[in-house]
Amino acid sequence: MAQGMNAPLYTVEILRLAGSLPDPVRLERVDGAAQLRSPTCGSTVNTEVQMEGEVVAGLSQQVRACAFGQAAAALVVRHAVGRTRDEVAEALAGLTRWLEGGRDDPGGWGLEALAPARSRTSRHGAIVLPLRALLAAIEDARS
Tell me what the mean pLDDT of segment 1-23 comes to.
77
Q: Hey, what amino acid is at 9?
A: L
The answer to whether the CB of 72 falls within 8 A of the CB of 111 is: yes
Q: Which pLDDT does position 2 carry in this prediction?
A: 38
Task: Give the CB-side neighbour count of residue 67, counting CA atoms within 13 A.
Answer: 17
Q: Which pLDDT does position 36 carry in this prediction?
A: 97
Q: Does the pLDDT value for residue 128 go beyond 50? A: yes
Contacts of 72 (CB under 8 A, 6+ apart): 65, 111, 114, 126, 127, 128, 129, 130, 131
Contacts of 36 (CB under 8 A, 6+ apart): 44, 45, 47, 129, 132, 133, 136
Question: Mean pLDDT in the chain?
Answer: 92
pLDDT digits (tens, 9 = 90+) for 11-21: 899 999 999 99
Q: Does the pLDDT value for residue 5 go beyond 70? A: no
Task: Specify the length of the chain in residues.
Answer: 143
Q: Residue 49's CB: how many other CB atoms inside 10 A?
A: 29
Q: Where does 10-22+29-142 sit in CATH, by number? A: 3.90.1010.10
Q: Domain boundaries in the chain?
A: 10-22+29-142
pLDDT digits (tens, 9 = 90+) for 28-60: 999 999 999 998 888 999 999 999 999 999 999
Tell me what the mean pLDDT of segment 72-91 comes to.
97
